[in-house]
Amino acid sequence: MIERELTFRIMRYNPDEPEKKPHLQEFHLTEEPGMSLFVVLNKLREEQDPTLRFDFVCRASICGSCGMLVNGRPTLACKTLTKDLPDVTTLLPLPVFKLLGDLSVDTGVWFRDMSFRTESWVHTDETFDPDAPEKRMDNAVALEIYEAERCIECGCCIGGCATANIKPDFIGAAGVNRVARFMVDPRDKRTEREYFEVVGNEDGVFGCIGLMACDDNCPVGVPLRDQLAYVRRKMASAGWRYQKV
């Protein structure tokens, strides 16, 4: 195999030095077999520029820390292998989220805020009885909940969404999917009307204009289009029946 010389154009920005405009810095390194962007970025930091900032945690596409734009496409850096990249690759941080430095963005705060706004917990009045066996649940329902719960909060769907890029309050596919997760859960006692008040509006599911960049870019393959459509239909029927009290 001929060794490739790879070029990475990486966005540099340090919030401590706001006078320096964000700019692209070029780095070069030699490709190795099985190399991922996780390996690349760590090598660059350790061998070329120790101030380079980026986020990885699990390095196994499980935790959702490393979303960034790889040649424009929002994806997880840890699961991007260099063998799938051209000789020159541009790395940019995800848009929408607060920029913490270079490729590092504050997805955590965004998702926490979204979780609060969608009240992402099981709403129930039942109390837990430690002596009773668990409530039964059909396995198909459990799987359906898990299908939505699989979201790893990486933010790729948000960074790639045109609406989220201009509407700061839009909860995006991640938010709508989150609501879907609780809607299908029989343990959550919220009524359709209560859900409608959370997502039946422009900041929720009716803000979606159907570009489906989220569905195209979700790195873990959550069926976002189906989830968006599911919530939209539910909310339409809730909207239809909604009576002002």
Partner 1 sequence: MKLQKALSYSPRADFIVEVIQMVSGLLLVLFLWTHMLFVASILIGSNAFNGLSLFMEKNYLLPAAIVFLVLVGGAHIGAVIRRIPSRWAEQKIVWKHAKLIHHADTWSWLFQSVTGAAILALAIIHIAVVTYGGIDVIYSSGRIKHGFLVFYAVLLLLAEYHASVGLYRIFVKWGWVKRHKLHWVLGVISVLTVGIGATVLWIFFTMGVHA
Partner 2 sequence: MSRYDSFVTDVLVIGAGLAGERAAVEAATQGLNVILLSLVPPRRSHSSAAQGGMQAALGNSAMGKGDSPDVHFADTVKGSDWGCDQDVARLFVETAPIAVREMAHWGVPWTRVTKDEHVYDGKVIHEDPENAGLITARNFGGTAKWRTCYTSDGAGHTLLYTLDSMVLRLGITVHDRVEALSLIHDSERCYGAVARCLRTGELRAYTAKTTVIATGGYGRLYGASTNAIINEGSGLSLALDTGVVPLGNMEAVQFHPTGLVPSWILITEGARGDGGYLLDKNLHRFMPDYEPAKKELASRDVVSRRIMQHIRAGYGVESPYGDHVWLDIRHLGAEHINTNLREIATICKNFRGIDPVKDLIPVRPTQHYGMGGVRTNIDGQAYGLKNLFALGEAACWDLHGFNRLGGNSLAETVVAGKIIGEQIAKFTAEASLDVKSSLVEEHLHRQMDRVTRLRESRDGTEYVYDLRREMEQILSHHVGIFRSEDSLQDAVNQLSDLHERAQRLGLRGGGHGGDPELDAALRLPGMIRVAYCIAKGALARKESRGSHFREDFPHRDDANWLNRTLAYWPEGADEPELRYEPVKITESPPGDRGYGEATRGPDSAKP
- The listed partner (partner 1, ligand FES, partner 2, none) that binds 13, CB under 5 to 8 Å by sort, is none
- The listed partner (partner 1, ligand FES, partner 2, none) that binds 137, CB under 5 to 8 Å by sort, is partner 2
Contact between 119 and partner 1 by CB under 8 A: the answer reads no
Range 230-237, long-range pairs (CB < 8 A, 24+ positions): 230/180, 230/183, 231/176, 231/179, 231/180, 231/183, 231/199, 231/205, 232/205, 232/206, 232/208, 234/183, 234/192, 234/195, 235/192, 235/195, 235/196, 235/199, 235/200, 235/204, 235/205, 235/206, 237/192
**What one-letter code names the amino acid at 111?**
F
Q: Which is nearer to partner 2, 100 or 173 (CB)?
A: 100
Residue 180: name the closest of 210, 136, 134, 144 by CA. 144
By DSSP bridging, strand 88-93 and strand 5-12 are parallel
Residue 217: name the closest of 12, 104, 79, 38 by CA. 79
Contact between 18 and partner 2 by CB under 8 A: the answer reads no
Tell me if residue 226 falls in helix, strand or coil.
Answer: helix
Contact between 220 and ligand FES by CB under 6 A: the answer reads no
Among 133, 166, 209, 244, binds partner 2 (CB under 8 A): 133
Count the Cβ atoms, other than its own, within 10 Å of residue 22: 12
Contact between 194 and partner 2 by CB under 8 A: the answer reads no
CB of 144 to partner 2, least distance (A): 8
Number of residues that bind ligand FES (CB under 6 A): 12
Contact between 50 and partner 2 by CB under 8 A: the answer reads yes
CB of 220 to ligand FES, least distance (A): 9
CB of 241 to ligand FES, least distance (A): 41
For residue 184 the two structure tokens come to 């299908």
Question: CB under 8 Å to 208, separation ≥6 — which residues?
Answer: 163, 173, 176, 228, 232
CB of 244 to partner 2, least distance (A): 29
Among 67, 155, 200, 219, binds partner 1 (CB under 8 A): 200
Contact between 39 and ligand FES by CB under 6 A: the answer reads no
Tell me if residue 180 falls in helix, strand or coil.
Answer: helix
Compute the residue count for the chain. Answer: 245
Residues within the interface to partner 2 (CB under 8 A):
14-16, 33-34, 36, 45-46, 49-53, 55-65, 79, 81, 100-101, 106-109, 111-112, 115-116, 120-122, 126, 128, 130, 132-139, 141-143, 145-146, 149-150, 152-153, 185, 187-188, 220
Residues within the interface to partner 1 (CB under 8 A):
69, 71-74, 92, 95, 160, 162, 165-166, 196-197, 200-202, 206-213, 216-217, 225-226, 228-230, 232-233, 235-236, 239, 242, 244
